[in-house]
Chains A and B, each alone.
Chain A
Amino acid sequence: MMQEKVAQAPASASGKGPMLLALRGVGKVFSNGVTALSGVDLTIREGDFLSLLGPSGCGKSTALRLIAGLATPTSGLLDWRGSRAADRSDIGFVFQEPTLLPWADVFDNVWLPLRLKGVSRAKAAPIVMEMLARVHLTGFEKAVPRELSGGMKMRVSIARAMVTKPRVLLMDEPFAALDEITRFKLNNDLLELWQDERFTVVFVTHSVFESVFLSNRVVVMAARPGRVFKELAIDASYPRKEAFRTSPAYAALCRQASDVLIGAINSTAGPHHDGH
């Protein structure tokens, strides 16, 4: 099933994979009357690395929760159209905090999703160990979360999300709390993982630089009500290594995205409140 994908060129904005999921006129109103999302139309294609970029309160996290099935839309629908991903086992989720079990060691944390599906420790072991190797944590199986640095905890979190080999990885500002050096490293490693495994990523961030570096598509959102403001294609080929960060092409793309983001912020109706 995977063979034909291996032959494919790395996805870029122009290379269109088959549709995975479409949000059609999706809106979400909370019981307190806040309209988190309104009329969101968005098509996610297989193999996309799609970033949702926007200021606080633009509903990007809500959109992610809707896709994950952790919340249901008030209006509109999520169209998975035949893709198996509607099944939750095909979705991996990485939270803003590492969200690990503090009493369990690294191995047990990564094993957890498989364990909940009834996979024994012995059967899970090779899968878990391979996943830990993929996130460069070999040798840390026995460590508990408090013994790890912030970056390492996030690696465990990513390994846990990926251990079931989901087709979609949803990430909610996963690196926002990390220092820049660690964030760059994790960016690189995430891209490498994505290129090897060819899954689909929906990545929520408020960093222009991060979204441009990682994604082939950046969807800029605006607030009050949360909506899609504009979509940008990031036409730079993969693999993107450290050199890409300092290239003029990257700088130009960042400027472009930044301009769109400023437009999105200015388009917000009503008095402007700063995020908490």
Chain B
Amino acid sequence: MTAIDHTAVTLDPEEARRVRQERLERIGRWLLPLAIMVLAIWLWDRICVWNDIPKYILPRPGVVLQTLFDDAGLLFSSLLVTLRITFLSLLLAVIGGVGLAVLFTQSKWVEMSFFPFAIVLQVTPIVAIFPLINIYVDNQTTKLLLCAWIVAFFPILSNTTLGLNSVDRNLRDMFRLNGATRWQQLRYLRLPAAMPYFLGGLKIAGGLSLIGAVVAEFVAGATGQSSGLASRIIEAGYRLNAPRLFAALILISFTGILIFLVLSLISHLILRRWHESALKQER
């Protein structure tokens, strides 16, 4: 594991080409999407100008940006409302998903009995369940939370269950030989082994909890009181305020990207020392 000083070695043409290729790829990975994005925005702007499209149909990018600044107070306070639901539901999804997964792995019978219910909950569209929730739950926040939770918890549950069950057989035997208790096996073997799976599920659930929160607001918004980003979008739609619609949309997208990046970073930091997925590729 000695470090090789690359500058000191004269590379043959093939290796030199490979080094050049790698450097190009590293730059391209950032530059290309950025360039395409800029091009797309420019094209968007041009299409508006060339076709003389009114801003209540398709606003120019500059107008959207301007709206984002002008309506910042309104939009960001709405964003906070949506974020609160998102993070609370994600937290509950983690607690519920991991808790249920641990319960499932304690007994095959429990898993066999209850896993189908989790699947039923997952495959039924949330908008179809919402009217029922609306009848049974009074509190607005609880309603939204429940909705976002139902959407977000399944990937955590199914991934964590898979992880807890994917422990190396020999390691399990080794724990048995050393007289490990059920709790010790969970604490020192199953939970750490399930970590990469759980984090994979968490990344999916992060995005889903945002989607869940927005969808819930949409459905709830139709019935009245709600002040999240979704209700801003509905409101803007009614008023043909396209610039604000776009601004809210961009805000939601960026929030989703941010959530994904943060969760990816957390995942990388936890796994970087040992898991294949987080290792730098050598050779």
Q: Is residue B189 within 8 Å, beta carbon to beta carbon, of the partner chain?
A: yes
* Interface 0/1 of A81-108, CB less than 8 Å to B: 0000000110101010101011110000
Which residues of chain B have C-beta atoms less than 8 A from A116's C-beta? Answer: 175, 178-180, 184, 188
Could you show 27 A-B contacts with beta carbons less than 8 Å apart? Answer: A69-B177, A70-B173, A70-B177, A88-B178, A91-B177, A93-B173, A93-B174, A95-B170, A95-B173, A95-B174, A99-B170, A99-B171, A101-B171, A102-B274, A103-B192, A103-B193, A103-B273, A103-B274, A104-B192, A112-B178, A115-B188, A116-B178, A116-B179, A117-B178, A144-B273, A146-B274, A146-B279
Q: Is residue B195 within 8 Å, beta carbon to beta carbon, of the partner chain?
A: yes
* Interface 0/1 of B156-179, CB less than 8 Å to A: 000000000000101101111111
A113 to B174, CA, bound (A): 9
Which residues of chain A have C-beta atoms less than 8 A from B274's C-beta? Answer: 102-103, 144-146
- Total B residues in contact with A, Cβ cutoff 8 Å: 22
Q: Is residue B46 within 8 Å, beta carbon to beta carbon, of the partner chain?
A: no
Which residues of chain A have C-beta atoms less than 8 A from B173's C-beta? Answer: 70, 93, 95
A112 to B189, CA, bound (A): 10
- Please list the residues of chain A having a beta carbon within 8 angstroms of any beta carbon in chain B: 68-70, 88-89, 91, 93, 95, 97, 99, 101-104, 112-113, 115-117, 144-147, 164
Q: Is residue B17 within 8 Å, beta carbon to beta carbon, of the partner chain?
A: no
Q: Is the CB of B176 within 8 A of A70?
A: yes
Closest residue of A by beta carbon distance from B168: A99
Which residues of chain A have C-beta atoms less than 8 A from B20's C-beta? Answer: none
Q: Which of B170, B189, B192 has the most CB of A within 10 A?
A: B170
Which residues of chain B have C-beta atoms less than 8 A from A113's C-beta? Answer: 178
Closest residue of A by beta carbon distance from B174: A99
10 new A-B contacts, CB < 8 A, other than A117-B178, A147-B1, are: A68-B177, A70-B177, A99-B174, A101-B188, A102-B274, A102-B275, A103-B275, A113-B178, A116-B180, A144-B274
Which residues of chain A have C-beta atoms less than 8 A from B180's C-beta? Answer: 116
Q: Is the CB of B177 within 8 A of A112?
A: no
A103 to B188, CA, bound (A): 10
